[in-house]
Structures are given as structure tokens and as C-alpha cells.
């Protein structure tokens, strides 16, 4: 092989490697798409101990929920590693459409790292001036609310935007869809989608402390 062809081949390998290393977050192998509709794309992220994601791109407004207490580190493209301690139940909003982020995440602990990254694909009714629900408000941002429930009262909730309900810890929670006369079980470490306008209430199946987070699209 001539030196020129060898150079082109090497350059192609480098380009392919760079492209592969910078994938959209939905295509990163440890981010699993478990639910997608017109409002949400739910990416379930599981990183085993001492494992690291590929560099990936966030460019869609997102809400993020941590399920585990894990020592992790994040490396922004071209920067040093930044070590941190995740706290189960922490929830964040980040408008990556305004602040595109390219990074990779590493699990520096001896236990798994579990997080859900929920991309907000559209708005619901941003001009409604809807007030927050009567729960603990984790954040009230431009595109979404987040609430925490540590007890269940069977209060009827209706006339709200699309939601994701995620159970961080506790016994199973039953979502009673009173409009469609059905029940959905939410297990610890899992989430479920609640359609806009659904009339529902929640009930607990046990006596363990509850840590349930609701994300509501505006």
C-alpha cells in the first residue's frame, strides 16, 4: 500500500472513531430507549461499576432523575474529569437545546449507577398558566414541573399535562386510571407514562417509605 493510501486509510479510521465516539444520547449503548411518544423520550441509563459511556451529545431539553447513590465522574469534551456523588431521588432540569453538551459519564463506584434521562420532545399547553400540584415541588421550569411524593393520599388528579411517574424507592405503587377504569403498577426503579387529561389517583401496596417523582410537561 502506498504512503498516500495508507494516510487516507488512517485518516478515515480516525474520522470514523471520532464520529462513533460522539453519538446522540439516544444512540449511546448504555442509554436504553424504554418509552417514546410525541411528548417524551425516556432513556433508562445503567452503568456498571468501573464502566464508562461513550462520548455523547445532549441537545434536547431534558429532565433527569437519579435512582442510586453512586460515586461517578463526568468529563466534558476537552476537559478534565469531574467527580461527584449521585443522590437517589435527585431531579434536575436542563435545557440542552440552549446549552448543547458533549460528555461521557463513568461509574467510579462498586455499585451500579442508575439514572433516567427524559427528553422533552414538545410542549403541551405552555400558555395555560397552569399552577403546580399540591405536592413538594422539586422544580418549576420553563417546560416542566417536578414533584416529590413521600406519602400517598388517594387524591384525585385530573386535567393535567402529560406526566412521567417514577418510583425511586418503596413498595409498589398502584396508579388507578379512573377515566379508563384500569390500574398500572409502578415498581421501584421504574417509570410509567400518564396521558394528558387522565383522571387518576395513587395507592400504596406496602408500608415502606415512598420516594415517588412526578414530571409534568407544561
pLDDT in tens, the chain (218 residues): 554 434 333 333 333 344 445 899 999 999 999 999 999 999 999 999 999 999 999 999 999 999 999 999 999 999 999 999 999 999 999 999 999 999 999 999 999 999 999 999 999 998 888 999 999 999 999 999 999 999 998 899 999 999 999 999 999 999 999 988 999 999 999 999 999 999 999 999 998 999 999 999 99
Pairwise CA distance, residues 120 & 158, whole Å:
21
Q: Which whole-number Å values give the CA distances from 4 to 8, 15, 88, 113, in the listed order?
A: 6, 17, 54, 46
* Chain-centroid distance, C-alpha 74: 16
Q: Which whole-number Å values give the CA distances from 22 to 27, 97, 101, 138, 144, in the listed order?
A: 10, 17, 11, 31, 28
Could you tell me whether strands 113-120 and 136-140 are parallel, antiparallel, or unpaired per DSSP bridges? unpaired
Fold of 136-217: Jelly Rolls (2.60.120)
Q: Are 176 and 156 in contact (CB under 8 A)?
A: no
199 SS3 class: coil
Q: Are 124 and 162 in contact (CB under 8 A)?
A: yes
Pairwise CA distance, residues 29 & 152, whole Å:
36
CATH architecture of the region 23-120: Sandwich (2.60)
Where in the chain do CATH 2.60.120.10 domains reside? 23-120, 136-217
Amino acid at each position: 500500500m502506498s504512503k498516500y493510501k495508507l494516510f487516507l486509510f488512517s485518516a478515515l479510521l480516525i474520522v470514523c472513531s471520532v464520529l462513533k465516539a460522539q453519538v446522540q444520547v439516544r444512540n449511546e449503548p448504555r442509554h436504553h430507549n424504554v418509552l417514546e411518544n410525541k411528548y417524551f423520550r425516556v432513556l433508562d441509563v445503567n452503568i456498571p461499576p468501573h464502566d464508562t459511556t461513550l462520548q455523547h451529545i445532549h441537545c434536547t431539553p431534558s429532565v433527569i432523575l437519579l435512582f442510586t447513590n453512586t460515586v461517578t465522574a463526568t468529563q466534558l469534551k476537552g476537559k478534565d474529569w469531574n467527580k461527584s456523588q449521585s443522590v437517589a431521588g435527585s431531579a434536575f432540569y436542563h435545557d440542552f437545546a440552549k446549552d448543547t453538551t458533549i460528555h461521557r459519564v463513568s461509574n467510579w463506584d462498586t455499585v451500579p449507577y442508575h439514572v433516567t434521562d427524559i427528553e422533552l420532545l414538545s410542549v403541551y399547553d405552555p400558555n395555560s398558566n397552569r399552577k403546580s400540584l399540591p405536592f413538594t415541588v422539586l422544580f418549576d421550569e420553563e417546560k416542566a414541573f417536578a414533584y416529590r411524593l413521600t406519602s400517598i393520599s388517594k387524591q384525585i388528579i385530573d386535567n393535567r399535562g402529560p406526566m412521567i411517574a417514577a418510583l425511586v424507592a418503596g413498595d409498589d405503587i398502584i396508579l388507578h386510571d379512573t377515566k379508563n377504569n384500569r390500574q398500572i403498577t409502578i415498581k421501584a426503579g421504574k417509570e410509567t407514562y400518564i396521558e394528558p387529561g387522565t383522571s387518576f389517583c395513587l395507592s400504596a401496596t406496602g408500608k415502606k417509605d415512598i420516594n415517588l417523582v412526578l414530571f409534568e410537561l407544561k
